[in-house]
Amino acid sequence: MPALAPKSAVRDRPVAPDVATEVPPWIARASRTKSTRSEPAPFRLILGSHLGLVPIGVGMLLMLVIVVAGSSLLGWVQTASDDLHYGRPRTFQMDAFVGHETGSVPSHFIALNLQGQIEIIELPGGDPTRARMYVGPHIYGPGADLVPVTLRFVASSQPHHPDMLILFQNTQVVLHNAGGTFEPVPHT
């Protein structure tokens, strides 16, 4: 068995100069001619150059679906909320002192949206035998029968005789308190 060379001798062993610096010879490749090369198909060329746009198109389609579904969901939630709050037909009730009372009980008001026609019932002093009915404007458009109608009373020129505001669809109609009844404000 031959003796092992010391590690320092292996590390510093000279390498033959012709092996370390020799460059492999250049080998000429055969060139390809047009007859052997296949042309890409037009579809493959179009698809290959626009393949990066597919994720963008899918993302846009997905966003469109999300917007349409979200809009439908929000509309349904709003209608369900109005159903819980105002019922069907849409009804709003409130009590207010408007100067039509004979005692200490406030008048009771009921605002209805009956198939797009606004109707307001007043029970002066809570007495149904003296009930008055006011016909408000007609609401037009799709879903007109589902529009909530609310009332508000605002100070007028006569003390303790507030005017009635009918509120619906970002619109307000004023009925003037004329001493025992409400009348539409004349247009000037």
Summarised one tens digit per residue, pLDDT across range 87-143 is 989 999 999 999 888 888 999 999 999 999 999 999 998 889 999 999 999 999 998
| Same domain membership, residue 180 and residue 97 | yes
State whether 108 and 177 are in the same domain: yes
How many whole angstroms separate alpha carbon 107 and alpha carbon 95? 6
Q: Are residues 172 and 112 in the same domain?
A: yes
Q: What are the tens digits of pLDDT across the range 142-168?
A: 989 999 999 999 988 788 889 999 999
- In a domain, residue 21? The reply is no
66: buried, middle or exposed (CB in 10 Å: 19+, 13-18, 0-12)?
A: exposed
Domain end residue (candidates: 60, 86, 112): 86
* 17-31, 69-83, 115-129, 158-172: segment of lowest average pLDDT: 17-31
* pLDDT confidence tier of residue 77, bands split at 50, 70 and 90: very high
Stronger pLDDT, 45 or 166, i.e. the higher one: 166
Residues 76 and 54 in one domain: yes
Q: How far apart are CA 140 and CA 147, in angstroms?
A: 10
Same domain, 73 and 103: no
DSSP 8-state assignment for residue 108: E
Domain termination residue (choose one: 29, 57, 86):
86
DSSP state of 141: S
175 with 147, same domain? yes
**Distance (Å, rounded) from C-alpha 183 to C-alpha 180?**
10
Cα–Cα distance measured from residue 179 to residue 165, given in angstroms and rounded to the nearest whole number: 16
Shared domain check, 146 and 101? yes
Number of domains comprising the chain:
2
- Whether residue 6 is contained in a domain is answered as no
Q: Is the pTM of this model over 0.85?
A: no
Indicate whether 97 and 82 sit together in one domain: no
Single-letter amino acid code for the residue at 31: S
Q: Which domain holds residue 105?
A: 90-184
Res 47 pLDDT > 60: no
**147 shares a domain with 67:** no
